[in-house]
Amino acid sequence: MTAVRSVFLAIVGCALSACATSPAYQKPALDMAPAWSTEAPWRQATPSDAAPKNAWWRRFGDAELDALEQRAALNSPTMELAAARLVQARSALAAAQGGTLPQVGLSERVSRQQISANRPLSNYASPNFATVQNELSVAMTVSYELDLAGRVQQTMAGARASAEQSAADLENTRLVLSADIATNYFNLRAIDNELRVLSQSIVLQQRALEFVNARHELGVATGLDLAQQQALLETTQVQLELMRRQRALFEHAIGTLAGIPAAQFVLAPEEREWTTLAIPLGVPSDLLERRPDIAAAERAMAVANAQIGVATAAYYPSIVLGASAGYDSRQLAMLFEAPSVLWSIGLSAAQTLFDGGRTRANVEFAQGGYAATVALYRRTVLVAMQEAQDGITGLAVLGRAGEQARTAVRAARKVLDMTTARYEGGASAYLDVITAQQSLLAAQRQAAQVNGQQMVTTVFLIKALGGDW
């Protein structure tokens, strides 16, 4: 008895010492810049932490975009997939939490059996006889695993971190989806502006062709002049068709993102010029709190760290407390009488003595998985900083380009006014007026392209910074 007690105490002592084998989780240190690199004409707003952080697209003041974003949030299969995975992760957490509680069961058995007379003897002085009898049994069982090695706690910690990771993934899916819709929407609207300019260019080039053709019939213009003008008109018409095709691709992409079949989705043309938003940047370290993909990567590290503890717990014994109580009788009438009572209480322990290195391999595998999540986390942060800095630099450059494009439009309009006045005064030919109009339209098309790029880059920066502020 003393030997059994010593073995039991040794097992419990080893298991208690296993509590220290689970590694303490710590986020890795990161080298974060103290501030973003900005240049003129950057405009920075003041962040408001009390404002909602979901519907950032409403800041553009576009009712069509708002409706598309709302429809996508309700109908997108991508959002449904992310939400379903979150439900799975939370269910897995609930299942893991059940491991911290005792397991209670109820068993019933009714049988009629014959015992063999030729079975091995238990005593040479007591012969065996064939016996046919009934057995009725009702018992309640309770079992509880002593989590001395921390396996259950580490499993629960991993499940909790996994649920938090799925929640962050859902937020990241919402952010990416809304940004994709806004990007495609602004690209489509920029094409609408370009299509307007191209249509006006075709009208002017058609007039110029008629003018050159009339001069050619009078013998004033050469056949080369006529051919050049005809080629210019046809080239512009080709550009118009290609732009229409590009618009259709953006339209189909928006419909798919919003959960609408591409064949059923139509977005009416609209011409509009947008003004860029003033976006608060904060400091680079804010990305660690604002970007859901960084939060998901950090939670993935916590999951991998918990897996190390689960794998390490296999080095130590599994100890289970068990108890049962019930009734066992060969007749139903005597089932619940006092002589039919049976019960048991005890403790079981299991310890692996040799497994060919399987446990060590599992621990090393878990450690390698944790190292991979650390590298993924660091890469996610670096990419996030790159995207934010690219957006900041891009908006500054496009801000200057936009101002220059507007200046070019004003200059081209001034040239057109002067040329028109000269033509009305008889000092210039009408072809000069048409040429000035085409120059103005080219400048307007460039301004439309720059404005579209500004809006797309604005969406890119908002996404890079983690959404609304």
Q: 94: domain CATH number?
A: 1.20.1600.10
**For residue 342, which of 144, 142, 140 has the smallest C-alpha distance?**
140
SS3 assignment, position 325? strand
Residue in the block written with tokens 């990419």:
383
pLDDT band for position 185 (cuts 50, 70, 90): very high
User: Would you state the pLDDT for residue 231?
Assistant: 86
Question: Cis peptide before 41, with omega less than 30 degrees from 0?
Answer: yes
| Rounded Cα–Cα distance for residues 167 and 83 (Å) | 8
Give the gyration radius of the chain's Cα atoms.
38
pLDDT band for position 50 (cuts 50, 70, 90): very low
Q: Is the pLDDT of residue 179 over 90?
A: yes
pTM tops 0.85, yes or no: no
Residue 417 lies in a domain: yes
Residue 282 lies in a domain: yes
Arithmetic mean of pLDDT, 211-229: 82
- What percent of the chain stands above pLDDT 70? 90
- 252 against 24, higher pLDDT: 252
What is 92-148 written as a DSSP string? Answer: HHHHHHGGGS-EEEEEEEEEEEEE-TTSPPS-TTS----EEEEEEEEEEEEEEEE-T
- 35 against 25, higher pLDDT: 25
- 22 against 24, higher pLDDT: 24
Parallel/antiparallel/unpaired status of strands 103-115 and 341-350 = unpaired
* Region of poorest pLDDT, from 153-167, 426-440, 453-467: 426-440
**Which one-letter DSSP state was computed for residue 348?**
E
* Planar angle of CA 234, 236, 239, nearest 5 degrees: 115
Neighbours of 85 (CB within 10 A): 17
| Rounded Cα–Cα distance for residues 141 and 90 (Å) | 28
Number of H helices and E strands in the chain, helices first, is 9, 4
Residue 142 lies in a domain: no
Q: Is the pLDDT of residue 4 over 60?
A: no
User: Would you state the pLDDT for residue 54?
Assistant: 64
Contacts of 111 (CB under 8 A, 6+ apart): 134, 135
Q: Is the pLDDT of residue 365 over 90?
A: yes
Neighbours of 37 (CB within 10 A): 9
Residue 212 lies in a domain: yes
Any bridge partners for residue 327, and if so which? Answer: 138, 341
Q: Is the pLDDT of residue 237 over 70?
A: yes
SS3 assignment, position 37? coil
Residue 326 lies in a domain: no
Residues 96-114, buried b or exposed e (16+ Cβ, 10 A)?
beebeeeeeeeeeeeeeee
150 φψ region: left (φ > 0), alpha (ψ -120 to 50), beta (else): left
* Region of poorest pLDDT, from 2-11, 229-238, 406-415: 2-11
Neighbours of 115 (CB within 10 A): 11
pLDDT band for position 8 (cuts 50, 70, 90): very low
Residue 348 lies in a domain: no
Q: Is the pLDDT of residue 124 over 80?
A: yes
Q: Tokens at residue 210, please? A: 């008629």
Cα 57 to chain centroid, rounded? 18
Q: Is the pLDDT of residue 39 over 70?
A: no
Q: Is the pLDDT of residue 33 over 70?
A: no
* Region of poorest pLDDT, from 139-153, 278-292, 313-327: 278-292
How many structural domains comprise the chain?
A: 1
Segments forming the whole domain that contains residue 259 = 32-102+147-316+357-464
Q: Tokens at residue 333, please? A: 């009438």
Which element (helix H / strand E) includes 7? helix 2-17
Residue 332 lies in a domain: no
HSE-up of residue 259 (Cα within 13 Å, Cβ side): 17
What is 211-242 written as a DSSP string? Answer: HHHHHHHTTSS-HHHHHHHHHHHHHHHHHHHH
Contact yes or no for 201/239 (Cβ under 8 A): no
Q: Is the pLDDT of residue 3 over 60?
A: no
| Rounded Cα–Cα distance for residues 251 and 266 (Å) | 7
Q: Please give the backbone phi and psi of residue 51, each rounded to the nearest 5 degrees, phi first.
A: -75, 150
Could you tell me how many residues make up the chain?
469
* Region of poorest pLDDT, from 128-142, 194-208, 276-290: 276-290
Residue 243 lies in a domain: yes
| Rounded Cα–Cα distance for residues 175 and 462 (Å) | 9
Q: Tokens at residue 170, please? A: 């859902």
Q: Is the pLDDT of residue 16 over 60?
A: no
